[in-house]
Chains A and B, each alone.
Chain A
Amino acid sequence: MRNESKTVAVLGAGTMGSGIAIVMARAGHRTILFDVNENNLKRGIETVHGFFDKSVQLGKLDATAGQTAKDALVGSTDLADLAPCDVVVEAVFEDLQVKKDLFGRLDEIVSKTTLFHTNTSTLSVTGIASGSRLPERVVGTHYCNPAPLMKLVEVADGRHTAGWAHKATEEFLGSLGKVSVVTKDSPGFIVNRFLIPWENSCIRALEAGVATKEDIDAAVLGAVGHPMGPFRLLDIVGLDIHQQVATRLYEQLRDPRFFPPPMVERMVAAGDLGRKTGRGFYEYDNTRLFGS
């Protein structure tokens, strides 16, 4: 796969964008990390470099491989730099118009055969694809957070996605060491479609006083085979993120199981967003999300 090195752009240098850029550079693809904001871009590149430095420190990569991966990455704030790309992956802010506009502008810059991947988690792939004059090249590729560690990518075709684009996407994801599952372009795909109502029902059980948060977490761990109880997981995901995703899914599905329970709104209002603020359902001494 490494001999088929491609030129890949990742748009948006936030958590997901930098994570996906790590995946691309690690797989040996020439990677352009794009962000309109110079500071975001700098932070994103630091995240990628930091990841590879840490991997070398931990002995997971040898020093040469670490340097090669770092060298594979360049940053840009100019869309015109994306002209040579074989694949572009957008991971910008979850806003339909922003994503559509981006694909529309890229139409003018890249070749007609460039694949357009959207990492949306809650918007419709078809809707985003409608921003491109060639919607047949647009495929939904939903990575899990943290992207460098999680193997799963949900692949969803829009209404107009072409068979060649889907096939090329699955092959490309294979070259990244990812495992793809194929799902319909429906709200929440597979993981969020089932996770959000599950988390909401756990929150409602807590609101109803069925058991304490500690007991619910422990009971789920010991009876269902989940790696983490629902409240520990919500604290890592972030209550604000849960609220956003749940609300977006509810707006599309109009099914009350997706609507974030009142406790979520209260916690977000209080700034108790989870680990990243030091307090969510539980309290934390440090705000590191992973590896602490």
Chain B
Amino acid sequence: MNQFHRIGVVGLGTMGSGIAQVLAASGRDVVAVEADQTRAEAGIAAVGAFLDGGVARGKVSDDEKRATLARITTSTSLSDLADVDLVIESVTENPEVKREVLAAVAAVVGDETPIVTNTSALSVTALAASLPNPARVAGLHFFNPAPVMRTVEVVRALQTDQDLVARLVTLVDSLDGKQPIVVKDRPGFLINALLLPYLNDVIQEYDDGLATAEDIDLALKLGLGYKSGPLEMLDMIGLDVHLHATENAYAATSDDRYAPPPLLRQMVDAGHLGTKNGKGFRTGEKNTR
């Protein structure tokens, strides 16, 4: 069997719900597992809200919206993953939690079903090593928001079977508007390895008074045609999420470029997390220091 028809998604947070939506929109059945019913419902509500936005803009029909939602079944038990062709794990970016969830998934699906992780910061190779038959493990890194961003990194761990990489590429190719990029399992893979140092650099220069946050963003948008400036991008990503990602990359590489700038840590300490709580570089109070 070369195609994945029935796919399990574990974790229905921002990333998981977006991934479930993209898979369901491609006509696949999705079994979405969350820890409890409240979270499962919140995840489905997020998919519904996203599709409503598509309907409002005329990009999605009502029928497509209903059909997409109908293809997603939720569950609070991993045992419902017994008959899926592929599991995509998208739980919180914490190695202990991920390892525990992946082990529980493996116990349900057996040794042959491919298991992929949507980690952005952890070593896929290390996660694979903790599971039986690590050759069936890979990374599948979607970017936020998953239904919008075209790039999907297919991460080849040291153990990953080449055939699985090819099947994942085929899967991503079959998703609407998605483009697979096969990358090695290096810290940050391809995109974050480039993006994290750039964002850290911007934060440090902002702290050093190069220009206002507004002017830094405006300069890069107008000068280079970027869709969003780096500081608005950080607000959208979430400063806590960025801090976590860059701390992980720093721990894995000891490369200074990934070292979190002091202002980033202070903003997270002060509870300034970006768009999600209305306080960030470009969000909320003018002076975020």
Q: What residues make up the interface of A, taking CB atoms closer than 8 Å to B?
A: 144, 150-152, 154, 179, 181-184, 186, 189-191, 193-195, 197-198, 201-202, 205, 210-211, 215-216, 218-228, 257
A218 & B220 in contact (Cβ 8 Å cutoff): no
Q: Smallest distance from the beta carbon of A149 to chain B beta carbons, Å?
A: 11
Bits for B165-196, please: 1 = Cβ < 8 Å to A, else 0.
00000000000000101111010001101110
Tell which of B186, B193, B211 touches A190, judged by Cβ atoms closer than 8 Å. B211
> How many angstroms from the CA of A197 to the CA of B83 in the assembled complex?
48
> How many angstroms from the CA of A37 to the CA of B137 in the assembled complex?
66
> How many angstroms from the CA of A105 to the CA of B194 in the assembled complex?
46
B202 & A194 in contact (Cβ 8 Å cutoff): yes
B223 & A219 in contact (Cβ 8 Å cutoff): no
A154 & B219 in contact (Cβ 8 Å cutoff): yes
Contacts of A189 in B (CB 8 A): 219
Beyond known contacts A194-B220, A197-B197: 13 more, CB 8 A cutoff:
A144-B223, A152-B223, A181-B215, A186-B210, A210-B186, A218-B179, A220-B194, A222-B181, A223-B191, A224-B195, A226-B224, A227-B224, A257-B257
> How many angstroms from the CA of A182 to the CA of B218 in the assembled complex?
10
A190 & B201 in contact (Cβ 8 Å cutoff): no
User: Which residue of chain B is the closest to A215 with respect to CB atoms?
Assistant: B181
Instruction: From B69-77, B86-94, B225-233, B262-270, give the one contacting chain A.
Output: B225-233
B247 interface residue per 8 A CB criterion: no
Q: Smallest distance from the beta carbon of B19 to chain A beta carbons, Å?
A: 15
Contacts of B212 in A (CB 8 A): 182
User: Which residue of chain A is the closest to B218 with respect to CB atoms?
Assistant: A181
User: Which residue of chain B is the closest to A226 with respect to CB atoms?
Assistant: B226
Contacts of B150 in A (CB 8 A): 221-223
B149 interface residue per 8 A CB criterion: yes
A190 & B184 in contact (Cβ 8 Å cutoff): no
Tell which of B182, B198, B210, B230 touches A215, judged by Cβ atoms closer than 8 Å. B182
A193 & B223 in contact (Cβ 8 Å cutoff): no
Question: What are some 24 contacts across the A-B interface (CB < 8 A)?
Answer: A144-B222, A144-B223, A150-B223, A151-B222, A152-B222, A152-B223, A154-B219, A181-B211, A181-B216, A182-B211, A183-B210, A183-B219, A184-B211, A197-B201, A198-B198, A205-B194, A210-B184, A211-B190, A215-B182, A219-B181, A223-B151, A225-B226, A225-B227, A226-B224
B149 & A223 in contact (Cβ 8 Å cutoff): yes
**Can you list the 7 inter-chain pairs with the closest CB atoms, starting with the nearest?**
A222-B150, A225-B227, A222-B151, A223-B151, A152-B222, A227-B225, A181-B215
B209 & A211 in contact (Cβ 8 Å cutoff): no
> How many angstroms from the CA of A154 to the CA of B222 in the assembled complex?
11
Q: What residues make up the interface of B, taking CB atoms closer than 8 Å to A?
A: 143, 149-151, 153, 179, 181-184, 186, 190-191, 193-195, 197-198, 201-202, 205, 209-212, 215-216, 218-220, 222-228, 230, 233, 257
Contacts of B183 in A (CB 8 A): 210-211
User: Which residue of chain B is the closest to A225 with respect to CB atoms?
Assistant: B227
Interface centre among A186, A191, A211, A222 (most CB of B within 10 A): A222
Contacts of B201 in A (CB 8 A): 194, 197, 257
Q: Smallest distance from the beta carbon of A167 to chain B beta carbons, Å?
A: 16
A228 & B225 in contact (Cβ 8 Å cutoff): yes
> How many angstroms from the CA of A170 to the CA of B184 in the assembled complex?
48
> How many angstroms from the CA of A150 to the CA of B224 in the assembled complex?
9
Contacts of B186 in A (CB 8 A): 210
Q: Smallest distance from the beta carbon of B18 to chain A beta carbons, Å?
A: 14
Contacts of B233 in A (CB 8 A): 225
Contacts of B153 in A (CB 8 A): 219
Known contacts being A218-B179, A220-B191, is A181 close to B226, with CB within 8 Å? no
User: Which residue of chain B is the closest to A151 with respect to CB atoms?
Assistant: B222
B190 & A219 in contact (Cβ 8 Å cutoff): yes
A210 & B211 in contact (Cβ 8 Å cutoff): no
B209 & A184 in contact (Cβ 8 Å cutoff): yes
> How many angstroms from the CA of A225 to the CA of B179 in the assembled complex?
14
> How many angstroms from the CA of A198 to the CA of B193 in the assembled complex?
11
B193 & A218 in contact (Cβ 8 Å cutoff): no
Contacts of A224 in B (CB 8 A): 191, 195, 226
Q: Smallest distance from the beta carbon of A147 to chain B beta carbons, Å?
A: 12
User: Which residue of chain A is the closest to B143 with respect to CB atoms?
Assistant: A223
> How many angstroms from the CA of A151 to the CA of B222 in the assembled complex?
7
User: Which residue of chain B is the closest to A233 with respect to CB atoms?
Assistant: B224
B228 & A225 in contact (Cβ 8 Å cutoff): yes
User: Which residue of chain A is the closest to B198 with respect to CB atoms?
Assistant: A198
B223 & A183 in contact (Cβ 8 Å cutoff): no
> How many angstroms from the CA of A227 to the CA of B184 in the assembled complex?
25
> How many angstroms from the CA of A134 to the CA of B65 in the assembled complex?
67
User: Which residue of chain A is the closest to B257 with respect to CB atoms?
Assistant: A257
Contacts of A184 in B (CB 8 A): 209-211
Q: Smallest distance from the beta carbon of A4 to chain B beta carbons, Å?
A: 24
Contacts of B228 in A (CB 8 A): 225
> How many angstroms from the CA of A218 to the CA of B194 in the assembled complex?
14
Interface centre among B183, B219, B228, B230 (most CB of A within 10 A): B219
Contacts of A194 in B (CB 8 A): 198, 201-202, 205, 220, 230
Q: Smallest distance from the beta carbon of B61 to chain A beta carbons, Å?
A: 25
> How many angstroms from the CA of A189 to the CA of B198 in the assembled complex?
15
Contacts of A221 in B (CB 8 A): 150-151
Contacts of B198 in A (CB 8 A): 194, 197-198, 201
B181 & A211 in contact (Cβ 8 Å cutoff): yes
Q: Smallest distance from the beta carbon of A281 to chain B beta carbons, Å?
A: 16
